[in-house]
Structure 1
Amino acid sequence: MKIIHHFLEITTDQGINIHNITPQVQEFIDSTGIHNGQVLVFSRHTTTALAINENEVRLLEDIKVFLRKLAPETDKYLHNDLHLRDVPEDEPINAHSHLMAMMLSTSEVIPIIDSKLGLGTWQSILFFELDGPRKRNLLLQVSGE
């Protein structure tokens, strides 16, 4: 069994944004020569997340509204008391982003079948930026034969 990894860099926009990374993940799988196995997609940040869902514009807007209701940016959070913590000068006020990320996931594992992602008809791999704009790195790791 082979195990191959790759880092995928994504430049994100301000606030909450959702990126369909399915094409980039499939492109990586194509480059590996793996026909059957699985791919791990792992977010390496505490204010980002991953999910498998439908990549439909109105649903993506509904998801953003839902996340903002779960952790409103204007609520009072202890993590945002920067004067009480040892932080870099550019530390953002982002407790809400951490809480949103906890409601989603940091990773997804997707089967690879005949060199293709084993996703359902309407499923896409969605990357959530919850504290942009930033440059983000995802770890993609394929294992199989």
Structure 2
Amino acid sequence: MRQSTTQITIDTRRQGLVDITAPIRRWVDAQAMQSGLLTVLCRHTSASLLIQENAAPEVRTDIEAYFERIAPESSSYLHDDEGPDDMPAHLRAALTQVQLSIPVIDATLALGTWQGIYLFEHRRRPHGRSLALHLIGD
């Protein structure tokens, strides 16, 4: 049994879903493990992680619009230290997840045909988002 860890930074340009499958897949491939479990942790409270449809861009657009409706920017929030998108970003992260577990089978992430790994940026301005990756396996 072996373990590997790393941290990667994903630069975001705006609110929305950023496909991060490729850099994660490259790192997993470099570890040369045939089977195992990958954990990905987003180290922030105003961004999150999703496994979602990777073929039709309308899916991402609809997801982003949905979260704008259920956690809109508003002057009614008490917490607005970093601007009007601050508290909605925390709500959106709370409604999704900051950690994913993905099996590695035959040296490959066990994602479905139409699945991709996404960082969901909930803030309007660009950020460098830190992700911690941990792979355990053989």
Q: Do Structure 1 and Structure 2 share a fold, with TM-score over 0.5?
A: yes
2:108 corresponds to which of 82, 97, 116: 116
How far did 1:75 drift? 4.7
2:134 pairs, out of 133, 141, 144, with 141
5+ unaligned residues in a row in structure 2: which ranges? Answer: none
What residue number does 2:64 align with?
Answer: 64
| TM-score, length basis structure 2 | 0.93
Identity of aligned residues (%): 33
> Which residues in structure 2 correspond to 1:92-111 (within 5 Å)?
92-93=83-84, 94-111=86-103
Q: Counterparts in 2 of 1:39-78, with a 5 A limit?
A: 39-55=38-54, 56-78=56-78
Structure whose alpha-carbon radius of gyration is higher = 1
- TM-score w.r.t. the length of structure 1 is 0.88
Distance (whole Å) between structure 2 residues aligned to residue 20 and residue 141 of structure 1: 19
Distance in 2 (CA, whole Å) between partners of 1:76 and 1:49 is: 23
- The CA RMSD measured in Å over matched residues stands at 1.2
Match of 1:61, SS state, is: helix
Query: What secondary structure, in the 3-state scheme, does the structure 2 residue paired with 1:31 have?
Result: helix
Distance in 2, matches of 1:72 and 1:30, equals 39
- Provide the rounded CA distance (Å) in 1 between the counterparts of 2:11 and 2:16: 11
Distance 1:29 1:8 in 2: 12
What secondary structure does 2:68 align onto?
helix
Q: Which runs of 4 or more aligned residues in structure 1 lie more than 6 Å from their structure 2 counterparts after TM superposition?
A: none
Q: 1:52: how far off?
A: 0.8
1:31 is aligned to: 30
Residues in 2 aligned to 1:136 and 1:53: alpha-carbon distance in whole angstroms:
19
Matches of 1:114 and 1:68, distance apart in 2: 39
